[in-house]
Structure 1
Amino acid sequence: MVILLLLFILLPEYSVLVGANPFCNCPQGPPPCPPPPPPCPAPPPCPPLLPPACPPCPPPCPPPCPLPCPPPLPPLPCPPPCPPPLPCPPPCPPPLPCPPPCPPPLPCPPPCPPPLPCPPPCPPPLPCPPPCPPPLPCPPPCPPPPICPPLALPCPPPLPPPCSCPCKRKKRSTPVVAVTSENSTTGHTLCNNNNIRKIILKNLGSDVKVSKASIYSELKAKQKNDYVVLCSQSSLSFTSDSTNYCVDGNMDHFCYVFQL
């Protein structure tokens, strides 16, 4: 196509370049044309051609001629019947249990120790001591001493107040005069501290132990000093250097209080 295009462009100039053909009866041509313009630039290259298409497939082969069927085979004879199955063998007996393992052998006993030497002969027995004498009989218990009745001292004729009865019991080695009161249930009153006497009279009861514990508890609660408390159903003989003391009681027992 490129060649044809070039010939088409150059065809009008062919007669100008060659001139009038003497063998042609054509009249003289016109004057030569002016020079043609410069040729156009070359066209862009054509794209590559596609590969040629595949050739058409050949026609299919004609179907083969059918062959004649072979003659049928004669039928096979029937096989003989199967023999009856053999009887099953009897089941195996269960395995016998394994015997228990033998116990380990016992260890040998240790050898016997050598015999101990014989002990020395026992000494002869001591003679039996003489039998104990019979116990002495217990003496009879001492009877409780009789309670001394209160002494009623006769009072002289009454004097004008404030003294109603000037008779007083004098206690030797007692620098302080004893305190007496009509609240006492006995005439055996010996006190030089009226507060202690009030505590004794307040806590006196029928039981000696209860009276002693009650008097001691109240003394410890109300007094700051230490005291000794004694209670007895009979009179006691005592010696004390206490400066605060009191002895009083009822018809059952007496209580003695001494400050330490």
Structure 2
Amino acid sequence: MSDSTDDASLAADPYRALETLQGAGRGSLTDAVAEALRGAIISLAMEPGMMIDKLAVCERMGVSRFPVSAALAKLAAAGLVEVLPQRGTRVMPIVMHDIRQHLFIRSALEVETVRTLTSASPNAMIEVLGALDANLNRQREIVAAGLRPEFHTLDLAFHEILLDATGLPRVKEIVAVSRSALDRARRLMASPERHAHTLAEHERIVEAIRTRDAEAAAHAMHHHLDEVVAELRRFASERPDLFRE
């Protein structure tokens, strides 16, 4: 089945993204329901602003109302859903203020990451550059084929290669938290045009690292992350129902 067919099916019935659960205790049921709902929200099967029908979740997953209510409470604490008095629970719109904060964190750390790699030992960078080149080659194939989920995976891997090369796991952990917070926003922008631009931006980053040009590498990474904000603003102007300032 094609991505477009899957997307259309989920748009018609977003609860199709949830699987039936069996044989779990109450506590583990709550965790399982929460994880399933989290996945549906992050993947955009349940769009920002969508009202969640608890009964539909119960029927689809084969559970009672208690684990669904408990799961939604956990997701509310995580900022993925919000309870509207007298109305019910809805998927939290994407908050632009939060997006800017997480991109600020990423920019500060990832710009410094690529700047640092330009001064690393050439011998130490042979394997890193090889991994980056292999990743870029695969990105080109995926962009040409228009495979959106696969590109998302390669994009994550590209940045992980850079962060792993610094040998600073705490930095990688901090960036990972901010990247996770941006997942819904990034998936909203998942289009062939955006992926082609992202690939070109990645190529410029790697070329600057390869030529050991610290300022070019820093500028390329800064521009890459700034483009996310610019693209989001354009998207938010077209779909203001999905966003909140």
Which has more radius of gyration?
A: 1
The structure where helix makes up a greater share of residues is 2
Same fold (TM over 0.5): no
TM-score scaled by length of structure 1: 0.16
TM-score scaled by length of structure 2: 0.17
